[in-house]
Amino acid sequence: MSSLPPTLPPENQAVSAYASAYEFCLRVEHALTNLLADTTMNGEEIRLHLVYIRILGYLLHYMPTRAGLDNLTHEIQISTSDNDLVELGQTYYGHILRTNPTWKAEPRTYRTSMQSYTLSQRRRLESYAIEKVYEGIYQCKQALSRDKFCCVISGSYDADALLENVELRNKYSAQVPRPENTFTECAHIFSGAINSDVEPGTAQKRDHAATIRSFGYCFGCSGIHDELKGANIHRLENVMTLDHPLYCFFDRLRLWFVATDQPNQYRVSTSDEIVPYKDKLVTFETDDPVNLPVPSPVYLAIHAACAQAAQLSGAAKCIEKYYEDMEELQEAMEVLSPDDGSSSGLLDHTLFGLQISAYQQGDPPANPSFRGASVCF
């Protein structure tokens, strides 16, 4: 976790509204840092609040769109207290969590959570999930073809494609030196969880929350909900081919792409020394821009902003801890009866993981048993 720099980048610092909003973040960060010295206070809670504040501060540094900066600045300006600012930071933390919540997700997340549903509900949800999986498989194969059956960063060929395609295998074997081959993954820049914006409370509070908890509003890209709704989460602008280790780093916000001044060219960026290919230039190319478009520069820019804010603010470690806790809760649920009331709290907590992991391919069907995806961290 890194303290906020004293000023914004020059181009942002020159805008008085941005500078004023950042000063508010710096002041609250300073106050929270001082509270850490008070042994009577809850140090863990204060450190988490520091993460929330630093998320806001670093997003004022890295927000990729002017609309996103304006919206964030407005929300900071209407925060009337330090607690309001902490709550705003918590909201943006939730959006970063939603950016790609496949992190450490396992199939048993779906199976365990489904125990609380009736047989007919389970069948309906299982059928829905299978349908969405097949929709995604086609688009992932299209992305693999667009990416020339290679990881876009390492250039390693997809092993499955080589095994299945004789023509591709002959082309691969003729190269000197022969490139590496590996098993690749279809990496999503965003998951369907960015559309899970439900907030309980009064009508007035819900109206405001519906705006603030909108991923598109917060990052200045209002059309992103419609663009990525349902099966569109697999649209080619949102997916790319990565080998498995790089997929894991990208999925955990430890690797991101920073645009250069050349169209569709990016520099691989990371804050971790163990991540390979740092600073490598990557150019996304396609032989058919209409039917096989390359990843969206807007999506990649928002992902990069989330990744940088997550790493520098300390949110990434909090998210790792969140998923570790989720795994422990799932294990605990296996030995608790879902019918005797003893596991109700665990179930409520785990349902969020179900919503953003098992159904990230699209919006879940209407079901009275589903709760809103409002999370208190």
Q: Over its length of 377 residues, how does the chain's per-residue pLDDT go in tens digits? A: 789 999 999 999 999 999 999 999 999 999 999 998 887 787 889 999 999 999 999 999 999 999 999 999 999 999 999 999 999 999 999 888 777 655 544 333 333 344 444 555 555 545 444 444 445 688 899 999 999 999 999 999 999 999 999 999 999 999 999 999 999 999 999 987 766 544 444 444 444 445 455 888 889 988 888 898 888 999 999 999 999 999 999 999 999 999 999 999 999 999 899 999 999 999 999 999 999 999 999 999 999 999 999 999 998 888 777 777 777 776 776 655 455 544 444 444 444 444 444 333 344 333 322 222 222 32
Q: What confidence score (pLDDT) does residue 83 get?
A: 95
What DSSP state is assigned to residue 150? B
* Beta-sheet pairing, 157-158 with 265-269: unpaired
Distance CA 80, CA 134 (A): 48
Residue 361 CA, distance from chain mean position: 14
Distance CA 332, CA 336 (A): 7
Q: Which of 149, 177, 178 is nearest to 164 (CA)?
A: 149
DSSP string across 221-250: -TTHHHHTSGGGGG-GGGEEEEEHHHHHHH
Predicted TM-score of the model (pTM): 0.78
Q: What confidence score (pLDDT) does residue 230 get?
A: 84
Q: What confidence score (pLDDT) does residue 8 get?
A: 98
Q: Which of 29, 4, 36 is nearest to 85 (CA)?
A: 29
Distance CA 17, CA 13 (A): 9
Q: What confidence score (pLDDT) does residue 95 get?
A: 85
Cα 365 to Cα 2, 121, 125, 224: the distances in Å are: 41, 10, 8, 20
3-class SS at 80? coil
Distance CA 354, CA 335 (A): 19
Domain boundaries, the chain: 116-191+227-315
Q: What confidence score (pLDDT) does residue 316 get?
A: 84
* Beta-sheet pairing, 157-158 with 181-182: parallel
The identity of residue 145, as a single letter, is S
Q: What confidence score (pLDDT) does residue 335 get?
A: 57
What DSSP state is assigned to residue 341? S
